[in-house]
Amino acid sequence: MTAEEFCKAVQEYYKPWSSKIMGVMVVEWIRRHAEIELNEFFYMLVEEYPASYDKAVDVAALQSAYKRNREALKIASGNYTDGAGNIYRNGLEVGHYDSGRFIPNLSPLQTLPDGIAGYIEYFGSGNIKPEQYADYLSEKIKLPVKRG
């Protein structure tokens, strides 16, 4: 769901915004929280903020729902770190940190013809970031890239 679709759905489900500035502020809040999976967030908002209030959704309602559902939204985006320190990007475990250095999960490379050798050739011995490795895996394994 795009930001525009989210705004349209919110106004249809609840009530249209009473002023242009209210709509502008909601759109700005969404832009500042670009990592949110908006489809998931819409359903969480509906569960927590009943339409029976007969009020348009404002920034305060969005912020309140976001605070209560922050962890669930991170998991829904596919980009999070679990309690054990494993790092996920695009819903795939890409590795973990050890003493501040990213250690990639090389298991997915075993299915590729060039395997770990291709990884070493591509990255060399330099330090990489989780996002770089996730992009590499998405390209090689043809995973859909999921961005918040």
Strand segments (E) across 1-129:
80-81, 86-89, 92-98, 101-104
Strand partners, 89: 92
SS3 116: helix
Tell me: do 7 and 64 sit in the same domain. yes
Please report whether residue 146 resides in a domain: no
Q: How far apart are CA 30 and CA 79, in angstroms?
A: 18
Q: Does residue 64 form part of some domain?
A: yes
Do 47 and 90 belong together in one domain?
A: no
pLDDT digits (tens, 9 = 90+) for 13-57: 999 988 999 989 999 999 898 878 888 899 889 888 888 878 888
Rg from Cα positions in the chain: 20
Q: Is the pTM of this model over 0.85?
A: no
Residues 70 and 126 in one domain: no
Domain that holds residue 11: 3-77
Question: What are the tens digits of pLDDT across the range 67-106?
Answer: 998 888 877 777 788 878 888 887 778 889 887 788 888 8
Q: Are 127 and 117 in contact (CB under 8 A)?
A: no
